[in-house]
Amino acid sequence: MKIIGFITVIITALLLLQAERDFPNWGDPESPASSYRLSQHYITETYHETVVPNMVTAVLADYRGYDTLFETVVIFTAGIAIIGILRVFGGNQAEHKEPQLTKQKPDLILQTTCRLLLPIIQLFALYVVAHGHHSPGGGFQGGVIFGASFILLALCHDLKYAQKWVPERRILNLAGFGVLLYAGFGVAALMFGENFLDYGILTHLLPGSIEEARSHSMLGVEIGVGFTVTAIMFSIYSLLSSNGKMKEGI
Amino acid sequence: MEFLQHIADSFNYWIFIILMMIGLYAMVAKNNLVKKLIGMSIFQTAIILFYVSIGYKENATIPILSHALIHEVHHEEAGHYKEAVQEAHHDEGNAAEAAHAAAEYAAEKAGKYLEHSDHAILDINPDDYVNPLVHVLMLTAIVVGVATLGVGLAITQKLYGEFGTVEESEIIEAIKFEK
């Protein structure tokens, strides 16, 4: 198996190296990726069409709204799949060869540091979501940071302690709410007779002009993405660390 | 020497290919399921590197407009467009058919911005910013990578609970033995 794998890898590498000759040089301004009119349109028109200075967020949440919606659904589905695979109810199953870490006394320094850091991390996560269309950031990044704050809590204390704030049921509700919030913006646009996820028409609901309505809707869908990513990140951690029992964790 | 120069010119592709092949080899040839997942992660990282490197453009910056730029052009540009609209309306009367259509288009375009004239009309040079599309694609690819890695680890953990091992060959043996 190793030899077959090695030969396959060598052949693929040679083919790729052969193809690499046709690629543009590093940083070439004339490369297809940089000179194609789609890229130019995104760069020159994004601000005029959406009032969002961060083009990445605008392309992510508006021009490619479908892509991002289903990306969020992929994450949601992954979370559901992991729950379906790992979650054990009751806890009498597969008790035999579980590696037991030695139980230690709670560490004062660790817990104090965690208590000090946690609000800062969460505040930063909210900033990353809320300021995502003016500086680097957005729902995915902010959601991951927010999820990481709960993971830190679970690591410094234990999973039981973290679950006081984010119980399993609330996690699932949040994940579903995020996807529905995103899709809700699309449906709201449909209700006004526009295309799905075409936020311009939401100017009837949101303050400001058409362009500002796009900007505000982007914030809304980013918040939805943030909810889902936060919930699923913590859900993945808690299930993997507790072997699906959701009890003590690491 | 020429060959080395060629490698130096396209080192980003070489590194991408080497990383991708490491990942592919780990996925195909390694016996340990966790090592296979590590290979998958390396593979995904290689693709992210590839995309971001083809998006790079010399003398260009990240695709985020600076607030300083926006505020600078803010007022004067809006004024310019008001003038342009008035001019367009003025010319309308005595212009030929073709000019009429052009003026109408300009007026419409300017009017669109004028409805809310507190927004600046920026003159952005596409050469100053890198292509945002590749960054968007990779942003989502990273998150999907995390999701697939999570599912993979969950399956591995379940298999470990079932068979007591993460070695592929031993798991296949155990399944054969059960039959």
CATH code assigned at B148:
1.10.287.3510
Position A234 scores a pLDDT of: 93
Q: Which residues of A touch B65 (CB under 8 A)?
A: 47, 53-55
Q: Which residues of B touch A9 (CB under 8 A)?
A: 21, 24-25, 28-29
Position B116 scores a pLDDT of: 47
List Cα–Cα distances, A96 to A100, B161, B164, B174, in angstroms: 11, 9, 10, 18
- Is A13 part of any domain? no
Q: Please identify, among B124, B144, B171, the residue that sits at the C-terminal boundary of a domain.
A: B124
Position B16 scores a pLDDT of: 92
- Which segments in chain A show pLDDT lower than 70? 91-104, 249-250
Amino acid letter, residue A216:
H
pLDDT truncated to tens, each residue of chain B (179 aa)? 788 888 888 888 999 999 999 999 999 999 999 999 999 999 999 999 999 888 888 888 888 888 777 776 655 555 565 566 566 555 555 545 555 555 565 555 555 544 444 555 677 888 888 889 999 999 888 988 988 999 999 999 999 988 999 999 999 999 999 87
Position B76 scores a pLDDT of: 54
- Cα A45 to Cα B168: distance, rounded to the nearest angstrom: 52
- B38 and B79 in a single domain? The answer is no
Smallest CA–CA separation between B74 and chain A, in Å? 12
Smallest CA–CA separation between B93 and chain A, in Å? 30
Amino acid letter, residue A229:
V
- B78 and B155 in a single domain? The answer is no
Q: Which domain holds residue A68?
A: 52-89+108-250
Position B19 scores a pLDDT of: 94
Q: Which domain holds residue B91?
A: 64-124
Smallest CA–CA separation between A250 and chain B, in Å? 14
| DSSP code string of B102-126 | HHHHHHHHHHHHHTTTTS------G
Task: For residue B131, give the nearest of B53, B47, B72 by alpha carbon.
Answer: B53
Q: Per the structure, how many domains does chain B have? A: 2
Q: Per the structure, how many domains does chain A have? A: 1
Q: What is the pTM of this model?
A: 0.83
- B39 and B70 in a single domain? The answer is no
Q: Are A203 and A213 in contact (CB under 8 A)?
A: yes
- B54 and B135 in a single domain? The answer is yes
Q: Which residues of B touch A75 (CB under 8 A)?
A: 143-144, 147
